[in-house]
Amino acid sequence: MRINPDAPADKPETDQMKVIHRALSREFALFPTLVAAVPPGDTTRARRVGRHVGLILGMLHEHHEAEDELLWPVLRSRVPLEQALVDVMEEQHHVIATAVTAIEALLPGWTATAGADERADLVQKLNDLEKALAEHLSLEESEVLPLIHEHLTVAEWHAPQEHAMAHGPAGLTAKLLLAGAVLEDATPREQSWFLGEMPPPARVMWRLFGARQYANHVRAVRH
């Protein structure tokens, strides 16, 4: 199913990427406030928030790894006049990956102690990452997605999505929570598209208990 029924069937429907971006933008915008609100010494709360941060960091990693391997090389060969733009995309990915590595290094210490100093360092790194990610996603949507729409095939467009799904978390709970993160702010048509991309057993599990599980997870993490 396509998000826009009037979109040409022989062109990549790049609005699909914006659904994923929306979920990432929401979560990374929330993280500094969530971490800052954890009282010093409350390791139970720190572990809960930290696990969620780690889950979404993994989602971002898989999303960008798929682009690095399967989108940027095709754009370089297909649209040689846009080499500089692809260079910027790759450099921004490098900056974001460096920020993610720094956060992943800080998380274990903070979740173990919920220390105020560790919390302050983590909040700063999360703020830095959110700013870098917002800049990157904005440029990608305004400049790169139109190029993809015009110059890539539908199969080439689907390849990184399939890669990210294949290399995502192994556990069912984590998969359902990530699905919930994408579906949370999606429109009804976007939800239908995303659910249609899921294997039939996963769709059944989402409807039977995944949606409820995600709602409980969000309440526990954000409140």
Domain boundaries, the chain: 15-168, 169-223
pTM of the shown model: 0.95
Tell me what pLDDT residue 2 has: 74
Q: For tokens 């910027």, name the residue.
A: 88
pLDDT value, residue 1: 66
Question: Are the C-beta atoms of 138 and 24 separated by less than 8 Å?
Answer: no
Span 46-75, pLDDT tens digits? 999 999 999 999 999 999 999 999 999 999
**pLDDT single digits (tens) 81-132:** 999 999 999 999 999 999 999 999 999 999 999 999 999 999 999 999 999 9
Please provide residue 152's backbone torsions phi and psi, each rounded to the nearest 5 degrees. -105, 155
Query: For residue 4, what pLDDT is reported?
Result: 76
Task: Taking residues 153-167, report their average pLDDT.
Answer: 89
Tell me which of 3.40.920.10, 2.10.10.90, 1.20.120.520, 3.30.1490.20 is the CATH number of domain 15-168: 1.20.120.520
Per DSSP, the residues of 91-135 read: HHHHHHHHHHHHHHHHHHHHHHH--HHHHHHHHHHHHHHHHHHHH
pLDDT digits (tens, 9 = 90+) for 181-219: 999 999 999 999 999 999 899 999 999 999 999 999 999
Q: Tell me, what's the pLDDT at 83? A: 95
Residue 57, number of CB atoms within 10 A of its CB:
20
Closest alpha carbon to 204 in 164, 176, 182, 185: 176
Q: HSE-up of 18 (CA within 13 Å, CB side)?
A: 17
The whole-angstrom distance between residue 61's C-alpha and the CA centroid of its chain comes to 8
- For 2, 4, 11, 75, the CA distances from 157, given in Å and listed in that order, are 13, 16, 9, 11
pLDDT at 27 over 90: yes
The confidence band for 165, taking pLDDT boundaries of 50, 70 and 90, is confident
